[in-house]
Structure formats: structure tokens, C-alpha cells
Chain A
Amino acid sequence: MNDILRGDNLTCIRGDRPVFSDLAFDLPPGRALVLSGPNGSGKSSLMKIIAGLLPAQQGSISFCHDDMLDDILGDRDWISQNICYLAHKNSLKAEMTVAENLDFWAGLEHFDGDIGEKAALIGIDHCLDLPVCYLSSGQARRAALARVLCHPGKIWLLDEPTVGLDSEGVGLLAELMDGHLCGGGRILAATHIGLGLDPQKTGQLNMQDYRSRQQTSPREAPLW
């Protein structure tokens, strides 16, 4: 019961279109939750809601701590300390080098470890002095993942972390995620391909199970 990040009864409406409703999840420490579902099923929206970037029309996200239930939906301080969000976009400045980008974000997040060492973990250390605009999309994604490693937050929200990565990169990422889980971290990842995570530590959340009822018209119901 302790230390569980729990979402309850979450409903998301973008514009007039209901995206998902009554969504619930549990995320204990050391576990990963993989979001799957077709494009537009609300994987990114769910992450943005957890990160406080989007409001939820309904529902709550809470964190059980010492038998106390803290509502963390929109709690800026808690989110900034605990959540590290990797979006579709890499949040890197094309004009600055990888090292300058990482230094900047690490400085903002009060990270005082060795950035070069973290970059080496994801295999981007040889590009530290290159401007981001010279990198391939896979290399830029690795640099963005290095930013995640330089973040003190223990809850990773990874939106399509493997986009552009080669098989070696996916392997490195799997090792890193496993290490993060073993260290008591949590991961919520949206992906279309296998991440190579230990199935025992990984839960699945299929977004299609929570599609809003208004959205599915009777005609779409299976005929058999």
C-alpha cells in the first residue's frame, strides 16, 4: 500500500473530443507501466496529465506515503521534484552543444553528478562537443535520454523513448531502465515496440480499454 503512485477515474477531453475515461493505474516503486494503444488513444495526454501540463476533466492522481494519501494532481513542487518527463520533442537547443544543453538542464534541476558519465551510459559521450543540429535524429534522442539520466526525479515519464534509436541504443536504454527500476525508480512509458523490460516488473496498460463510451458509436461494436 505504501509508496504507490495511483491514478483513479481519470478522464481526459481534448477540445470536444473525449480521449479516455475512467482510467486507473497503480505504479509501485521498482515497476514499469507500458502504455500501448493506437495513435490518438491518449498515451501522451495521460503523461501530460500526470506531469501537470494538461488538466484532467475528472479523477485524481495520488501518492500514498506513510499511509497518507497526497493528491499530487497539479502539485507543482511535488511534480518538479519527482517527475522527469521526456516528451516527443527533445528539449534541446540546436545551436548549443550536447554538453551545454545537458549542463543547462542539470543546473536547473540541481543535479550535481558527472554529466559526461551519464552521457556515456547511453552512448552519446563522443558527441558532447557537437552542436545538436549536427546530430542525427537517433543521436539527438540519445542526448535527450541523457538529460533524463541527469534528472533527480525518480518517476520517469517516457513518451516514445525509442524513436530514432538503433538496436544498440534500444539495448542500452533497456539496461538503463532496468537499472532505474532496481534502484526503486518507476517508469511510465508509451511505446509501440518492445522495450526489452523484465516482464515481472512490467505492467501493461492498454489505452483502448478506456476509450470513452461516447466516442465508440454502436456501429463500431463487433458484429459477432
Chain B
Amino acid sequence: MVRLALLIIARDLRLALRHGSSVTMVVAFFVIVVIMFPFAIGPEQNILQRISVGVIWVAALLSCLLSLDNMFQGDYEDGSLDQFVLSPVPLELVVMAKFIAHWLTSSLPLIIITPLLGILMNLPERGYLPLILTMLVGTPALSFIGGIGASLTVTLRRGGVLLSLLILPLYIPVLIFGVLAVQTSVAGQPATEHILLLGAFTLFSAAIAPWAAAAAIRAGLE
């Protein structure tokens, strides 16, 4: 079973690399959205420092949305999704593998580039490690929850906007706890409980997303 999941993950990673532009575009969008804020608000260091964590998190959520559309769309269009449903691999495992591949190709690059944006936004030194840690803990939930939305809208043409409307409200808990965790640790207090809550949310979404998405795909293909 694990071998089959790895096979699907490897295929999706290979597709993302061949398709190159999708990963680069997500990262470029992330960087540009964050860069907009100093221009809009002005070079006031205190204000930038105060909003830095929130801006980076919101930009990460939006960039993640960009690539959600493609999670199942390509496979639906070329008929691969039918074959996945027919294959001996449970559809729940297939979508889980695709969630993981999505996280590796869209969220992981964002996390890697985040320290650079921290400098741009004048993030306090104490904030870097907590920010990266909370992103590592929280962003998988973006792929899981987003995957449910992607599976619901896969059979709709131009379902991208609907997908954003469906999914963004569900991202709010990740945003709240992610930002809160970094801000408390910048203030010098332990942020363990916030990170644990964030982790709980990620695990919860990991537990329900494969079943919800697989059911949505089966219903959508009919």
C-alpha cells in the first residue's frame, strides 16, 4: 500500500517538475504579495514588524489556493481519474498521496523561501524559528482541506473561484493559530499550546479529508 502511494507521489512530483512553471509561479506569487505590503503601508519599521507574521501567513494561504485547482483537474481531463477509481488502490489512498504531493510542490517551497520574506518584513529575530515551525505544522492542513474543495469542484469548468469561496473560510483556524503562535513566542512566552492546537487541526483534517475527497470524486464522476 505504501509503495503504491509512493508511486503516485513520485508521479505527481515528476509532473510538477516537468511542468516547472506551476511551482515557480506559486513561489513568485507568494513573494510578490508579501512585497506589496511595504509599498502600500510605507517603510515604517514598527508597523511592518507588527503585521509581518500575518501578511506572510495570508500570502501563504492565497498562494496555496493558486495550485489547488490543478490537484485533480489534469487527471480528470485526461481520464486518469477514472483509472484511479478502477485501480486496486483505494481511492482514499490515491487522494491522500495527491494531497502529500501537493504539499511537497506548493507549500514546501513557500516555507523554504519564508526566511527571506521575514527579512523584507522586518520580522523580529525571535520569530523566524517559530514561524517556520508553525508553517511546517499548519500548511499540510491547507492541502488536506483544499483537497476536499478541489475534489468537489473537479467536474466543474472554471471552478476556481467557487473553490476559493468554499475553502478560504475553512483556512481561518490555521491562520489564527499560526499567527498567534508566532506572536506569543516573539513576545517571549511559550507558544506550545497554539502549536499543539494547530497540529490538532492538521491531524483532524488529515483524518477526514481523504474520505470526503474520495466520496466527492466518486459522486462527481457519475
**Complex Cα distance A51/B78, Å?**
18
Query: Residue among B14, B77, B79 with the most chain A CB within 10 A?
Result: B79
Interface size, A (range):
20 to 34
With contacts A104-B11, A107-B7 known, is A91 near B85, CB below 8 A?
no
Q: How many residues of B contact A (CB 8 A)?
A: 22
Residues of B within 8 A of A (CB): 4, 7-8, 11, 14-15, 18-19, 74, 77-80, 82-83, 85-89, 221-222
Which applies to chain B's interface (DSSP): helix, strand, loop or mixed?
Answer: helix
When distances are taken between beta carbons in the complex, the residues of chain B under 8 Å from A79 are: 86
A-B contact count (CB 8 A): 67
**Complex Cα distance A89/B4, Å?**
23
**Complex Cα distance A87/B83, Å?**
9
When distances are taken between beta carbons in the complex, the residues of chain A under 8 Å from B78 are: 89-94
When distances are taken between beta carbons in the complex, the residues of chain B under 8 Å from A55 are: 222
Residues of A within 8 A of B (CB): 51-55, 77, 79-81, 83, 85, 87-96, 100, 104-105, 107-110
**Complex Cα distance A88/B19, Å?**
24
**Complex Cα distance A108/B19, Å?**
23
| Pairs of residues from A and B, 9 with the lowest C-beta to C-beta distance, nearest first | A89-B79, A95-B18, A91-B79, A80-B88, A91-B83, A91-B80, A108-B87, A87-B79, A107-B7
Query: Quick check: B14 and A96 within 8 Å, CB to CB?
Result: yes
Min C-beta distance of B205 to chain A, whole Å: 25
